[in-house]
Amino acid sequence: MKFNLIVVENTFEVYALLVALLFGGVGIWVGIKLFTKNKQLIVVEGSGTPGLVDEEKIKELGISKREHEVLELIARGHTNQEVAELLFVSPNTVKTHLANIFAKLDVNRRTQAIQRAKDLNILP
């Protein structure tokens, strides 16, 4: 009986509370969906086919291990942002690595770098 009186006397407040709870729940759900990223870990080391990569040529060109990792990920079609996320570095660091790779391979574009790297057998 008392519950009925509370609900009947305070109908607006009860509905307002229910709406507030609903919107709060929806807001939390949307926040979780928007701000949690699906992280994908790609192990670059050892990902190539053994024997097809010319390690001596990599050393001769002066390409660092990290630059080679960036080159492999770019060859797989990843964007600078994706490479940065996968390697846990900033996009500017990826751009710096790419500039170094371009200079060492004497190319101007990503596609040229990938093709030249494949021609030199430094990418599988």
pLDDT digits (tens, 9 = 90+) for 27-55: 998 888 887 766 555 555 554 455 578 88
Q: Which amino acid does the sequence have at 18? A: L
Domain boundaries, the chain: 2-35, 55-119
| pLDDT one-digit tens code per residue, 64-115 | 999 999 999 999 999 999 999 999 999 999 999 999 999 999 999 999 999 9
Q: What is the pLDDT of residue 22?
A: 94
Q: What is the pLDDT of residue 47?
A: 47
What is the torsion angle, in degrees rounded to the nearest 10, for the CA atoms of residue 13, residue 19, residue 21 and residue 24? -130
SS3 content of the chain, % helix, strand, coil (to 5): 70, 0, 30
Tokens 């080159």 sit at which residue? Answer: 71
- Looking at domain 55-119, does it have CATH number 1.10.10.10? yes
